[in-house]
Structure 1
Amino acid sequence: MTEVKMTVNGKAVSGTVEGRTLLSQFLREDLEMTGTHIGCDTSQCGACVVHVDGQAVKSCAMFAAEADGAEVTTIEGMANADGSLSTLQQAFQDHHGLQCGFCTPGMVMSAAALLAENPKPSEAEIRHYLEGNICRCTGYHNIVKAIQAASGQDVAIAAE
């Protein structure tokens, strides 16, 4: 057993984990932060994406002990301080970038990482960046529009 300490969504947390405990398990089971979804356990779907020290990572492919001392942001930490949706989350809602919602936390977290790197990505850049995230419902078009809208781009152009 290993003691882990990290900051999750701005709050110091700690716990005792087995060496094989995945970060996704620690977040969901120990911290009860169930917004991080588990879709495949093989790092294929992207539903479990979180930010670790500012980098988007698939939490089902990282051990909790590897995040010891890290700053972790989950989908629960993406809302504004008053609890309202962030610009990116609101864009997903406004532009119907979700259907069943299962992939949405990972999509939002990946999109936030993209926008941090590239504040005005093209449609092609967005689609390329999201290749590690699988959505079985939307067809991605509205997800791309939502990300473009969150970046301040005119989504009417994307619809043509």
Structure 2
Amino acid sequence: MIKIVTGEINDRKTTKMLDMFKQDVKGDGFISIKTMKKDRVHSYHAMQLSTGRKKLLSMHADFFKNDFDVGCRVGPYYLNAQTIEWVERKMMELIEQGVEPLYFDEIGMLELGGAGFDRMLRKMVKSGLDLVLVIRFDLIKKVIKVYDLKDVEILKANV
């Protein structure tokens, strides 16, 4: 079973996913924690659900001062190559251990373009394990098609 937590931008999709994890107390994966500077997005941190460990995932270009090795860029955000590798390595370990459900926040245009966490997501889907994924509402159909997702349940974040 693949559960998709969806909504628009700032619809509390990450909060919904975190609540699901806390309620079920099983599985593992990653959420993206937004950091604000006044009224602007400064950065995002990847947080492993089971440990609470956080690493800087991305930073808005307006604040970026060569703080890390850039893995790629999406829109105004630079992504941290080392954090991408850490998330992928940990997720592969979880797949090998058969941990489920696997949580991942979030699949976006970067992945749909074959970059970012695309390779990891394909392995997650291929594993056949239960998944909980965050996907913006306007991208659901594309993600289902590109990743050939089956047995999908859509959950609205703001409900």
Q: Quickly name the TM-score band, shorter chain normalised.
A: under 0.3
TM-score by length of 2: 0.27
Structure with higher strand content: 2
Instruction: Point out which structure has higher relative CO (alpha carbons under 8 A, 6+ apart).
Output: 2
Structure with higher helix content: 1
Larger radius of gyration: 1
TM-score by length of 1: 0.26
